[in-house]
Amino acid sequence: MKKSNHIKSLFAVVALTSASFGLNAQPYDPGATDKEIKIGNTNPYSGAFSAYGSYGKAQAAYFKKINDDGGINGRKINFISMDDGFAPPKTLENARKLVEQEKVLFFFATLGTAPNTAIHKYMNQKKVPQLFVQTGASKWGDPKNYPWTMGWQPNYISEGKVFAQAILDNQPKGKIALLYQNDDSGKDLLIGLEQGLGAKKDMLVARETYEGTDPTVDSQIVKLKASGADIFIHGSGPKFAAQSMKKIAELGWKPTQYVWQVSSSIGAVLTPAGIENTVGLITSAFSKDPSDPQWKTDKAILEYEAWFKKYLPGADPTDSFYIQGYMNAQTVEYVLKQAGNNLTRENIMKQAASINDFRLPLLLPGVNVQTSATDFYPIERMQLARFDGKAWVLFGKTYGD
């Protein structure tokens, strides 16, 4: 009698102990369960930068499709995106809410340099991955000091260098004028240009900035024309790039024009500017533009368009931010797939830092996603393209590593 009681109690103890360790011995950090993975970010859905909210909307729509198709490794994605209006204090408040209250597993594609800077230290202190930061600023790839933060797209310093290289190759005696956004992105482009030009830095004869609140940049364009430059670089946001292209044509000025990737959408920028004014424009690209007829029958683009119709009905298909949000979400999907059932933050970070030659279908053929323990810049390659009135025709080699 006593022995069976002992056995029963021993059994009970063992059972209880196993139960307290969880019937499933999967390694999970907050936000991960058998059924769900909770992830989050902030975007400016309101305020002066609300145009960038399209990134977040695309990401939400993408994960909706993933969930409709069964989720990742049997788990649904619970994606929470909060509005910070591009104000760093709000970004921090939202980040703390998502980490401390909602208990998300990790962040990805938080938008903007200032917002990401506001939470940079916090995320690393709390050891929560801050993945695929949605800004082209160059400081996010610093694994030694900030092992939990990683960039995503080619940064603007690289782009500036590529433009400089192309100019040195094709117009070594040219004079360059630059209109750039008065923020860190625009300044990074300028830094890249100057670095790329090296000893021939004074080829850059004129530079002007503008504020988002400026009604037009006509005055800046007139001033830049007066410098006698024969090369013009657009480092301005979509609205102002379109205005600039139009004004340059109105003034009868015909410089060789370069435009950075931010404002290179055929539908959103070149068409309003006037197609006839934009033939010959050069940009650097790393992904396929859906409004570009050369990709009309491309499988990845067709898939994108089908998704767009179903999950973003009524949205503007010429908005290039949607496709970037989509690709960023796809990168996250890849990392989660690689992580399998080991959903700790440490493993997520490990998987993100070991992406080997992943070819996102919407990336240009020569471009890949590549990271390592010392390389926290996932996408670095880009190619030059020239606008022929209908499409961005790629030319030259693929830059970057």
Does residue 205 interact with other proteins by CB under 8 A?
Answer: no
Binding mask 220-249 for other proteins (x = CB under 8 A): x-xx-xx-----------xx--xx------
- Interaction pattern, residues 178-197, with other proteins; x per rule: CB under 8 A: ----xxx--x----------
Q: Smallest distance, Å, CB 213 to other proteins?
A: 3
Give the CB-side neighbour count of residue 283, counting CA atoms within 13 A.
27
Q: Residues 32, 39, 72, 87: which binds other proteins (CB under 8 A)? A: 87
How do 231-235 and 176-181 pair as beta strands? parallel
Output 76 or 97, the one with its CB closest to other proteins: 97
Which of 173-190 are b and which e, b meaning 16 or more Cβ less than 10 Å from the residue's Cβ? ebbbbbbbbebbbbbbbb
Structure tokens at 125: 């202190």
Name the residue nearer to other proteins (CB basis): 172 or 252.
252
Minimum Å gap between C-beta 348 and other proteins is 22
Q: Which of 33, 67, 271, 398 binds other proteins (CB under 8 A)?
A: 271
82 lines the binding site for other proteins (CB under 8 A): yes
Tokens of 357: 């030659």
Please say which residue, 168 or 315, places its beta carbon nearer to other proteins: 315
One character per residue 35-54, x = contact with other proteins (rule: CB under 8 A):
----------xxxx-xx-xx
Residue (64 or 200) nearer to other proteins, CB = 64
Considering only residues 67, 165, 294, 318, which one is a binding residue for other proteins as defined by CB under 8 A? 318
Is 235 or 400 the residue whose CB approaches other proteins more closely?
Answer: 235
Fill in the per-residue mask, 377 to 396: x = in contact with other proteins (CB under 8 A), - = not in contact: --------------------
Please state the closest distance from residue 172 (CB atom) to other proteins, in A.
27
Binding site for other proteins (CB under 8 A): 45-48, 50-51, 53-54, 82-83, 85-89, 92-93, 96-97, 100-101, 112-115, 117-118, 120-121, 182-184, 187, 208-216, 218-220, 222-223, 225-226, 238-239, 242-243, 250-252, 268-269, 271-272, 315-316, 318-319
